[in-house]
Structure formats: structure tokens, C-alpha cells
Structure 1
Amino acid sequence: MMTVSENIFREMDFFAVSFVLGMILVLVYDCLRILRRLVRHGVIWISMEDLCYWIFTAFIIFAMLYQKNDGLIRGFSIGGIVLGMFLYNQYISRHTVRYIAYILKKVIWFVQKICGFVLKPFQKAAKKVANGSSILAGKGRKFKKSLNKRLKRAGKLIKIGIVKK
């Protein structure tokens, strides 16, 4: 049989786990928000991401409740999750999303500049090939037109020859 202090310690542990879980869940959502700042999403795509996030969140909360409290939903555990989410969102999340998104944008910009510098000779070569093929295509069109004229003339001569006989 547990003593009162062991029960209280277990409940405090359960509350602390709930609190930390709330913070972790907002951290996961922050990853989605950072992704949204880096890559623009439409309304439907954002809705799908949010739906998947909340389904994931429900499973994680259920797993924690099942493991720590035999699946019983306790008001203070939900309160701990909400409090952890609220405090993390108020004091940490804003800065985390802003600065990490800023740093990642700068890294992406830098990588794009390096790739642009490295790929520039290939782009110039591709333009020359494209220009050459357009020149050939223009000559091909001229040849096709002249061939059509010759065939029409030959066809008319054949018709004239058949009609005269």
C-alpha cells in the first residue's frame, strides 16, 4: 500500500510529464510553422497539415495517458498539457519560429547562390544548344515549305498531264 506522499509524488510526476508533453507538442507545431514560412502553402494544404498534426497529437496524448495513468483522463493532466502549450507558445515559440526561419532562409539563399554560381556554365551551354536547335528548326521549316511547294507543283503538273491526254 502506498503512502500519501508516494501518491502525491506520482501525481506530480504525471503533471510534470503532461506539462512537458504540452511544450513538446507546440515545438512540433513550430516545425510546421517554420516550414510554412520557408515554403508558402495554400489554405487546403495548411488545413491538411493541421488535421494530421491534431490526429498525431491525439494519439500522443492518449499514449501518454495510457502509459502514465492507465488511460484515465484527469483534469489536471489536461491542465498540465494546456499550461505547457500556453507557456511555451507565449515565451519561447515566437522567438524560436522567427529566428530559426530567418536562419534557414539565409542558409537556403546562400546555397542557391552557390548552386547558381556552379551551374552558370551549364546554363550558358544549355542556352547555346537551345539557340542552335532553334536555328536548325528555322531551317527545317524553310525546307519543309520549299518541299511542299515542289510537291504541289509536281502534283499540278501530273494533273495537267492527265487532263490533257
Structure 2
Amino acid sequence: MQWMTMAVMLLSGLGMGTVFDGYRVVSNELKFPRWWLPVLDVIYWMAAALVVFRALYASNNGEVRAYVFIGLAFGMILYYFLLSKIVIVLVKWLIGAVRKLVAFVLKCLDLLIVKPIKLIYKLIVVILGFGSALTIFLFKIVLQLFRPFWRLLAWLLRPAVRPLWRWLSPYVTGWRIRERLAGFGRIIARWRSKWFRR
């Protein structure tokens, strides 16, 4: 049981060294704020103590003897002399691989989703701008074509409209129709300039 307990403690020491180096490299690579480091150290040592006690309890029912500390210390020393550099290089490589994978995924999302959406949006804006310009152009042509008929109709209806206009002119002046139409025209002009600027 003593030899098994020493072996378990040796493996626990190796595991503690591995986790500590991994945590140290990750904190350096990800540039954690300095005030986070003491908090993370406390969390690491609490977790390590719980894991070691659990392993000790599973091997010899939690009996603390001198060989327990010897096995734990020997495992940590063995790790730092044999495996520390390998683990550090491996963790750095894993962090670099994860960063490259994340950059590749973001680039794929940009190419497959973001850029097509932007292209569709610009295409819709161009189509709407062209459609509005074409509609206004056709409307002007229709107005020009119907202008002689409107003038003829106005000339025919003038004798009947004049008395009606004299009667309605005070009300029309109070309604400020011209100012409202002018404001509406300015809104349309701003809307058109906005579409064509894009």
C-alpha cells in the first residue's frame, strides 16, 4: 500500500506540474490582467489540494505519512526536469493552433455570410435607387404627355372653377397647402439624395 501510495503521489506531482505550466503559459499568452493572477493561483492550489487529497484517500484512506510528501515532491521534481519544456512547447503550439483555427473560421464566416449579405444589401440599394429614378423619369414623361390635355381641361373648367376658387381661397390659405407641399417636396428630395449618395 505504501508503494502504491507513493506511485499515486508521484503521478499527482506530475499532474500538478503539468497543470501549473499549462496555466502559466495560457495566462501569459492570453495576457490576463495582473490582478487576476493571485486569484488564479489560489484557485489552482485549492483545486490541486482537493485532487491530491482525493487521490490519497483512494490509495490509503487518507492517511498522511512522510512518504506521501516524498512521492509528491519527487513527482514534481521529475516533471520539471523531464517534461516541463515539452509541456510548455505543446501548450504554446495548441494555443497557436486554436488561434489559427478561430481566425480561419472567422474568415470563412466573413466570406460565406458577411460579404454576401453586404453585397446583397448594396445590390438592393442600387436597384431601389435605379427604380426610384426610373419611376420619377417615367412620371415626368407622363406629365409632359398629359400636359396639353390638362391645359385644355383647365381652360374648359375655368368659368366654373373661378367662383368656386373665390369661395374656397380663404380656407385654402388657412390650410397652408403650399407650405405643406413644399415640405413634402423637400422630404422627397432628401430621400432621393440619400439613395443616390449610397
Question: Fold-level match, TM-score > 0.5?
Answer: yes
Q: Which residue of 1 aligns with 2:62?
A: 71
Distance in 1 (CA, whole Å) between partners of 2:58 and 2:27 is 33
Q: Which residue of 2 aligns with 1:125?
A: 118
Q: How many residues align?
A: 121
Q: Which residue of 2 aligns with 1:116?
A: 107
Question: What TM-score do you get using the length of structure 2 for normalisation?
Answer: 0.51
Matches within 5 A, 1:1-150: 10-120=1-111, 122=114, 125=118
Deviations 1:99-126 (A, max 9, x none): 3312431442254045225405726929
CA spacing shift, 1:107–1:69, aligned 2, 3 Å? closer
Q: Residue 52 of structure 1 aligns to a residue in which SS?
A: helix
Q: Residue 83 of structure 2 aligns to a residue in which SS?
A: helix
Structure 2: runs of 5 or more not aligned = 126-182, 184-198
Runs of 4 or more consecutive aligned structure 1 residues displaced over 3 Å after TM superposition = none
Given that 1:37 and 1:101 are in contact with CA atoms closer than 8 Å, whether structure 2 keeps it comes out as no
Aligned-pair Cα RMSD in Å: 2.7
Q: Which residue of 2 aligns with 1:156?
A: none
CA spacing shift, 1:81–1:117, aligned 2, 3 Å? same
Question: What TM-score do you get using the length of structure 1 for normalisation?
Answer: 0.60
Distance in 2 (CA, whole Å) between partners of 1:22 and 1:71 is 17
Given that 1:65 and 1:71 are in contact with CA atoms closer than 8 Å, whether structure 2 keeps it comes out as yes
CA spacing shift, 1:61–1:103, aligned 2, 3 Å? closer
Work out which of the two has the higher radius of gyration on C-alpha atoms and give 1 or 2: 2
